[in-house]
Amino acid sequence: MSHATRDVLVTVLVVLVGIAILPVVAGLYQFLLVPVHAWRNHLARARPYLPNVVVVVPAWNEGAVIGASLDRLMGLEYPPERLRVLVVDDASTDDTPDVVRARAARHPGRIVHLRRDRGGQGKAHTLNHGIAHALADDWMQALLIMDADVIYAPDALRKMTRHLADDRVGAVTAFIREGSVHPGAVSRFIGYEYVTAQAAARRAQNVMGAMACLAGGAQLHSRANLEAIGGQVDTSTLAEDTFTTFLTQLDGRRVVFDGAAVVLAEEPDSVAALWKQRVRWARGNVQITGRFRRVWFRPWRSPLGRLDFGVVWFSVFGLPVFMALAALALDGLYLLDGQAAQRVFRGLWWLALVAYVFITVTTLLLDRASARRSWREGLLFPGVGALVVMSAAWRPGLWEEWLPGLFDLRLTPDGLTVWTLLLYSWSLLAMALAWVVRWAETTRGLRWASRPLLYLVGFGPVLCAITLDAYWRQARGAAAVWDKTEKTGRVMG
């Protein structure tokens, strides 16, 4: 290979690694905006406002959870005469109808059971049945879409409706906090992740003036907004909540996140259930990205076209691909120019270390309730393997010389090469090992190993592996169906 060719290859590989820095910088940028939210938020334009609210609850075989949700709705700190609930029963085959009818008998006129004879069309169709029923009555001034299993804090709805006092606001969303009574490892990881993706990221999006998504279990719309976007939610994608969020903002109305409005939800506590849930979410985001392709990086069309919002969106969207490319490029660079590879490796992972420390500390301070439950998962979110890689970048020779030296050992040249390639490619290997975690969890005799493996691999790489799976399924045209996650009703009261 000529020197010129080698130099070109080195440059290309360095650039590929450099692209992987984009998600890290985007993550840091969002978290730097979080404290700005203390001054730049919508609270100055909010005021006490108690419109007539209709709550639409889609329900399919939710007998284990819907009773508690309805009881808490009836106990909200909201004028009873201004709150009505429509439970849209999607032809449930369990005791959901009986549970709902019993609550309706206790609260006549405030809880209504709507039965769909033809079920199985999906959540969006079920929601539209309830929305049409609500819009047919002039009484409704605002509509809340929620899931059948979530529990609203007593003051949550009041905190959400206050933003609708500003007629420029079309929709409001709340903070969905993982609220299982006895959360396992996966649920605790999700609890931490929800703080980063909602309490932090959505505050940053408030500052940017562009919201990525209304939480599926907490979507409050003004009547005017619902009518303006067509009086229904989209049925052609797996992300009807994100689709509605985009339409609202493209039509000139704001979407606001209120982190003080708290909604508790029971989240999956197995990798298999998480995989099913997140594949659906990721495929929905692929569909949204394509459907709104004429919006990206066009700020004159909408705040959604802002440069920073677009960079954040595509950094998350492309994160698993960036990680894989960076790992392969580092290995290739090491084989071509070991010293250049070491410098690039240290630069990339030093930045990752700074981001990890800053984001983790900010997240744990942002929501103390989640921090008390999930601080270990927060510290180990990138995985033990990634922490080893960060320490190798922080202190060269730590794992190659110092640790073996404690046992009077020394790596051979071939052993050092293998170890270095392993460190450089860890982000890709971690995504591959995520499939092993899932397999071990469902294999008798290996289930005991699935949780230690999860902490080794990290929750972040598992999410990236799921995203790659979703992209592959979307590319090959796999059936797009709404498949709900099973819930047991173990949510804190």
The model's confidence at residue 144, banded by pLDDT at 50, 70 and 90, is very high
Assess if residue 259 is contained within a domain. Answer: yes
pLDDT for 90 beyond 90: no
Of 493, 470, 392, nearest in space to 69 by CA: 493
**Residues 116 and 232 occupy one common structural domain:** yes
DSSP state of 61: S
Assess if residue 447 is contained within a domain. Answer: yes
The model's confidence at residue 478, banded by pLDDT at 50, 70 and 90, is confident
pLDDT for 462 beyond 90: yes
**Residues 83 and 159 occupy one common structural domain:** yes
Least confident of 9-23, 207-221, 272-286, 427-441: 9-23
Assess if residue 290 is contained within a domain. Answer: yes
Per-position DSSP letters for 406-471, written without gaps between them: HTT----HHHHHHHHHHHHTHHHHHHHHHHHHHHHHTSTTTHHHHHHHHHHH-HHHHHHHHHHHHH
Assess if residue 490 is contained within a domain. Answer: no
pLDDT for 278 beyond 90: yes
HEC sequence for 228-276: HCCCCCCCCCCCHHHHHHHHHHHCCCEEEEEEEEEEEECCCCCHHHHHH
pLDDT for position 480: 62
pLDDT for 297 beyond 60: yes
d(CA 254, CA 210): 8
Assess if residue 32 is contained within a domain. Answer: no
CATH number at residue 61: 3.90.550.10
In terms of DSSP bridges, do strands 169-178 and 151-152 run parallel, antiparallel, or are they unpaired? Answer: unpaired
pLDDT for position 413: 84
The model's confidence at residue 116, banded by pLDDT at 50, 70 and 90, is confident
In this prediction, residues 144-155 reach a mean pLDDT of 94
Q: What percent of the chain is modeled with pLDDT above 70?
A: 96
**Residues 329 and 238 occupy one common structural domain:** no
Assess if residue 432 is contained within a domain. Answer: yes
In this prediction, residues 239-256 reach a mean pLDDT of 96
Q: Hey, which residues does 180 pair with through a beta bridge?
A: 491
pLDDT for 359 beyond 80: yes
pLDDT for position 489: 55
In this prediction, residues 282-297 reach a mean pLDDT of 95
Assess if residue 94 is contained within a domain. Answer: yes
In this prediction, residues 468-479 reach a mean pLDDT of 88
pLDDT for position 483: 59
Assess if residue 30 is contained within a domain. Answer: no
In terms of DSSP bridges, do strands 254-265 and 151-152 run parallel, antiparallel, or are they unpaired? Answer: antiparallel
pLDDT for 493 beyond 60: no
Contacts for 34 with CB less than 8 Å, ≥ 6 apart: 200, 203, 204, 362, 366
**Residues 131 and 15 occupy one common structural domain:** no
| H/E element, 320 | helix 307-336
- Of 276, 298, 320, the residue that ends a domain is 298
Supply the range of the domain harboring residue 276.
42-298
pLDDT for position 486: 58
pLDDT for 490 beyond 70: no
pLDDT for position 492: 56
pLDDT for 1 beyond 70: no
- Of 263, 298, 333, the residue that ends a domain is 298
**Residues 355 and 221 occupy one common structural domain:** no
pLDDT for 487 beyond 80: no
Q: What is the pLDDT of residues 35-78, one digit of tens each?
A: 999 999 999 999 999 999 999 999 988 888 899 999 999 999 99
In this prediction, residues 375-385 reach a mean pLDDT of 96
| Domains contained in the chain, number | 2
In this prediction, residues 346-363 reach a mean pLDDT of 94
**Residues 453 and 318 occupy one common structural domain:** yes
**Residues 275 and 373 occupy one common structural domain:** no
**Residues 238 and 351 occupy one common structural domain:** no
Q: What is the pLDDT of residues 214-239, one digit of tens each?
A: 998 999 999 999 999 999 999 889 99
**Residues 221 and 162 occupy one common structural domain:** yes
Cα separations in angstroms, 185 against 127, 182, 200, 355, 373: 32, 10, 22, 23, 10
**Residues 320 and 285 occupy one common structural domain:** no
pLDDT for 118 beyond 80: no
pLDDT for 248 beyond 70: yes
**Residues 319 and 264 occupy one common structural domain:** no
**Residues 80 and 163 occupy one common structural domain:** yes
pLDDT for position 6: 79
The model's confidence at residue 137, banded by pLDDT at 50, 70 and 90, is very high
- Of 267, 298, 329, the residue that ends a domain is 298
pLDDT for position 92: 83
The model's confidence at residue 120, banded by pLDDT at 50, 70 and 90, is low
